[in-house]
Amino acid sequence: MSVAAVEARPRRVAPLGNYANNSSPAALQQGLDRRQRKRKRRTERHTLRHKERRMTKLDRVRKCGYVTVGGDGGGPGLRVSPDPKGGGNIAGFSGLLTCGSVWACPVCSAKIATRRAEELADVMRFGLEQGCRASMVTLTMRHHEGQSLKECWKALGKAWAAVTSGKQWRTDCERYGLRGWVKAVEVTHGSSGWHAHIHALLIWDDPIGLAEARHVGDRMWRRWTRALQRCGFDSLRRSADGKDLGVDVRMASLKPGHGSGLHEYFVKLSHEITGGQNKLAKGGGRTPFQILTDALANGEAADVHGWREWELASKGRRQIAWSKGLREWAGLGQEQSDEEIAAEELAAEDVLFLEPESWRELRDTPERVCKLLEVTEDGGYPASMALLDQWSMGYLVAKVYPRPKPPPRDHEHWQLRRDRLDESKRLVGSLARELSETGAWWRQLRELGIE
Ligand SMILES: [Zn+2]
């Protein structure tokens, strides 16, 4: 195993509030409030995933954040490191299975969506800095009674292919200098069934204005609608109150506070898509996570069926797709899969390993799991140890070999990064297998007098 040395006095991490240096009391309070809200949402996501275990048909979702990698015999590691985005520390577990489901897991989906939103924002910022223009088009489809979600998804794929091909599309691309696009899929459920939306970000080399962007968006919508109709579906152009729902075109802006700033929009969108179990979907419908929440709360057959249909139909579907070459142009490097993002662990030299029996007790109370993360973020391992002592749970703080630092996101380093990632995954996998083999490691440590 890679536990290299055991420290009697674990290294302290920065205490809470270091992000608020030279901030005013109001800014400090704002930071604390934001942190509180984030923590509340994290606990909600963990609680929902825990409850979901009794309903889901997806084995990986059932095991996500619950079972240790390589079996159920070991205990996970608790890690804490400074939050790269500022705002104190961030704590998380290592050595646990993750499902990587962007559609069916409230915890993984939030992590994946956050990363995707950051990448989208990076592309937009890069494009706008290069003097490009960015517009966003939202296309909507509706489904009719009797059509399955699977059919709906299939039609969505065909319709998007029709939007981004053909002579008309090529003409528009050339005429206005389209650099590339990114699309995100969002699905909600309303009174008439499943609704799917495609949010597409278009990056233009030429300085096109809103009128041109609308013109292109309108032509996109026409191809979209025709393709949907060929599959027996329809787009939703106007709501009952005359609101244009079928196609929504906006321009992006780098200006902070700008009403249609796409960065904010995509960050907001990612939360709406994935973390919105407590919010109503637009137009009075429900997000899939709301259906899950309702199904768990009331056990109604329609909701249970709805969630099961959702799980089956969404499995393996992509939420985000990029046009060829756009990521490379923006220096984003090769795209990580959802599973890779979900499985990423915090880099930390010291790891607090939970005793296997303690983990098996702790994992059934997600509120406690989150409480442990919170105290660790606020006070480092001394605080986590104090809390675990209070709960009479066993642990061990040990040093592990540091993981390689990710190189900067550019092309030359990318292969190197992939190689290192593969190597560390292999190491982690073999370590986890060792750890889980009948808990022998734990006994060995005890025999060595290390507890
Ligand atoms: Zn998951």
Ligand 1 centroid, distance to 281 Cα (angstroms): 22
Ligand 1 centroid, distance to 375 Cα (angstroms): 23
- Token pair recorded at residue 252: 């992006």
Strand partners, 78: 93, 352
pTM: 0.78
The mean of the pLDDT values for the chain is 80
Model confidence at 444: pLDDT above 70: no
**Backbone φ, ψ for residue 361 (5° rounding):** -80, -45
Q: What would the pLDDT profile of 15-38 be if each residue is shown by its tens digit?
A: 444 444 456 888 888 878 888 998
Ligand 1 centroid, distance to 61 Cα (angstroms): 5
Ligand 1 centroid, distance to 65 Cα (angstroms): 7
Q: Give me the count of residues in the chain.
A: 451
3-class DSSP state for residue 186? strand
Ligand 1 centroid, distance to 47 Cα (angstroms): 12
Domain range summary for the chain, segments of one domain joined by +:
3-95+345-447, 108-332
Position 143 scores a pLDDT of 76
**Backbone φ, ψ for residue 193 (5° rounding):** 115, -155
d(CA 286, CA 302): 13
Percent of the chain with pLDDT over 90: 42
State which H helix or E strand residue 201 sits in: strand 193-204
Model confidence at 297: pLDDT above 50: yes
d(CA 143, CA 128): 36
d(CA 430, CA 116): 29
Ligand 1 centroid, distance to 399 Cα (angstroms): 27
Ligand 1 centroid, distance to 441 Cα (angstroms): 27
Ligand 1 centroid, distance to 240 Cα (angstroms): 38
Return the top range by mean pLDDT from 153-157, 189-193, 388-392.
388-392
Residue by residue, DSSP assigns 222-268 as: HHHHHHHHHTT-EE--B-TT--B-SEEEEE---STT-TT-HHHHHHH
Ligand 1 centroid, distance to 442 Cα (angstroms): 27
Ligand 1 centroid, distance to 341 Cα (angstroms): 11
Ligand 1 centroid, distance to 342 Cα (angstroms): 7
